[in-house]
Structure 1
C-alpha cells in the first residue's frame, strides 16, 4: 500500500479474493461458445484467442518469477544482495490483476470497436505502425508519466507502493495501484487503438506488442543481469531497444 493511498487504489474485484477470475468468465464462455456454434465464415478466431493469450502471459510471468527466485537463492550476480521479505511476497501476490484488467478491456474492445474483431494473423503495415508509435510518442509520454509519478504528491499516493519492494522480482514491475494501471494501459493502448482504427490490426501486432512489454518489464526488474555487457559492446544500438536491471 502507498504511504498515503489515493483514490482508485484498490482493484474493483478485491472483495472477490481468489474468486476474482469470475470477472472474465462471461467473456470467455461467450467467445468459446460463439466460435464453436457459428459458421466458419462468422467465427472470430482473434476473439477466441484472447483467453489462451491471457493464460500464456500468466505462464510467461510465472517462468520469470521461478527463474528469478532460483537465481536469488543461488546468490549469483544479484544486484541487490538481500533476501526477499515475506511481506513483499504477500504484497505482490496480486500480480495477475493487471492481466485480468487487460483481458476485460481486450474483450470489450473486440466487441465494441469497429475493426477490433476478426483480425488477420499478420499485417506488415500494422506491425510497423505499432513499433514506430511505441518507439516515438509512447516512450516519450511514458518518460514524463514516470517522472510525474515520482513527484511527491503522486509518489506518496500511488507509486511508492511499487518502490516498497527493495529487492525487486520480475513481477514487481506490475505491482501498482489500480489508478496507476489505468494510466499505463491508456498510454500503451495508443499503438493498439491506432492499428484498430486504421484497419491495420493483426493478432501478431497485438500479441507481439504486449509480450514485448511483459518481457521488458520482467527483465528490467529481475535483480540479476541476464544480458552480458559484451553484447552491448558488439551491438551498441541494443541499449535503445531494452533496459537492464542495473
Structure 2
C-alpha cells in the first residue's frame, strides 16, 4: 500500500477475494454458447483467444517468478544481495489482477469496437505499425508518466507501493495501484487500438506485443543479471530493444 493511498488504489474486485474470476462468467458463457449453437463459420477466434491468452500470460509470469526465486536462493549474480521478505510476497500475491483487468478490457473491445473482432492471425503491416508506435509515442509518453509518478504527490499516493519491494521479483513490475494500471493500459493500447481501427490488426500483433511487454517487465525486475554487460558492449543498439535490472 502506498504511504498515502489515493483514489482508485484498490481493484474493483478486491472484496471478492479468491472468487474474483467469477467476473469473467458472462464472457465464458458467451464463448460456450457460440461454440455449441453457432455455425463454426461464425466463430470469432479473437474472442475465443482471450481466455487462453490470459492463461499464457499467467504461465509466462509464473515461469519468470520460479526462475527468479531459484536464482535468488542460489545466490549467483544477485543485484540486491538480500532475501525476499514475507511481507513482500503477501503484498505481491495478487499479481494476476492486471491480467484479469486486461482480459475484461479485451472482451469489451472485441464486442464494442469496430474492427476488433474476427481478426486474422497475422498481418505484416500491423506488426510493423505496432513496433513503430511503441518505440515512438508509447516510449515517450511512458517515460514522462513514469517521471511524474516520482513526483512527491503521485509517489506518496500511488507509486511508492511499487517501490516498497526492495528485492524485486519479476512480478514486482505489475504491482501498482489500480489507477496506475488504467494509465498503463491506455498507453499500451495506443498501438493495439491503432491497428484495430486502421484495419491492420492481427491476433499475433496484439498478443505478441503484450507478451513482449510482459517479457521486458519480468526481465527488468528479476534481481539477477540475465544478459551480461559485454553483450551490450558488442551490440549497443540492444539497449534500445530491451532493458535489464
TM-score (norm 1): 0.98
Unmatched 5+ stretches in structure 1 = none
Cα distance in 2 for partners of 1:36, 1:84 equals 47
User: In the alignment, does 2:126 pair up with 1:126?
Assistant: yes
Displacement after TM superposition at 1:32 (Å): 3.3
Displacement after TM superposition at 1:194 (Å): 0.4
Match of residue 60 from structure 2: 60
Match of residue 41 from structure 1: 41
Helix, strand or coil at the partner of 1:41: helix
Cα distance in 1 for partners of 2:36, 2:138 equals 38
RMSD of the TM alignment (CA)? Answer: 0.8
User: In the alignment, does 2:50 pair up with 1:50?
Assistant: yes
Match of residue 194 from structure 1: 194
Assess if the C-alpha contact under 8 Å between 1:35 and 1:48 holds in 2.
no
User: In the alignment, does 2:80 pair up with 1:80?
Assistant: yes
Summarize the alignment of residues 48-197 of structure 1 with structure 2, pairs less than 5 Å apart.
Answer: 48-197=48-197
Helix, strand or coil at the partner of 1:24: helix
Match of residue 216 from structure 2: 216
Assess if the C-alpha contact under 8 Å between 1:10 and 1:178 holds in 2.
yes
Deviations 1:157-183 (A, max 9, x none): 000000000000000000000000001
Which stretches of structure 1, 4 residues or more, deviate above 4 A after TM superposition?
none
Q: CA, structure 1 residues 202+38, in 2 after alignment: closer, same or farther (shift >3 Å)?
A: same
Assess if the C-alpha contact under 8 Å between 1:35 and 1:45 holds in 2.
no
Helix, strand or coil at the partner of 1:4: coil
Match of residue 228 from structure 1: 228
Helix, strand or coil at the partner of 2:76: coil
Assess if the C-alpha contact under 8 Å between 1:31 and 1:48 holds in 2.
yes
Cα distance in 2 for partners of 1:28, 1:139 equals 34
Helix, strand or coil at the partner of 2:62: helix
Cα distance in 2 for partners of 1:25, 1:242 equals 37
Match of residue 24 from structure 1: 24
Match of residue 3 from structure 1: 3
Cα distance in 2 for partners of 1:79, 1:202 equals 38
Q: Judge which range, 124-133 or 34-43, deviates more.
A: 34-43
Cα distance in 2 for partners of 1:3, 1:214 equals 27
Unmatched 5+ stretches in structure 2 = none
TM-score (norm 2): 0.98
Assess if the C-alpha contact under 8 Å between 1:88 and 1:165 holds in 2.
yes
Helix, strand or coil at the partner of 1:102: helix
Displacement after TM superposition at 1:230 (Å): 2.2
Assess if the C-alpha contact under 8 Å between 1:35 and 1:44 holds in 2.
no
Cα distance in 1 for partners of 2:97, 2:187 equals 18
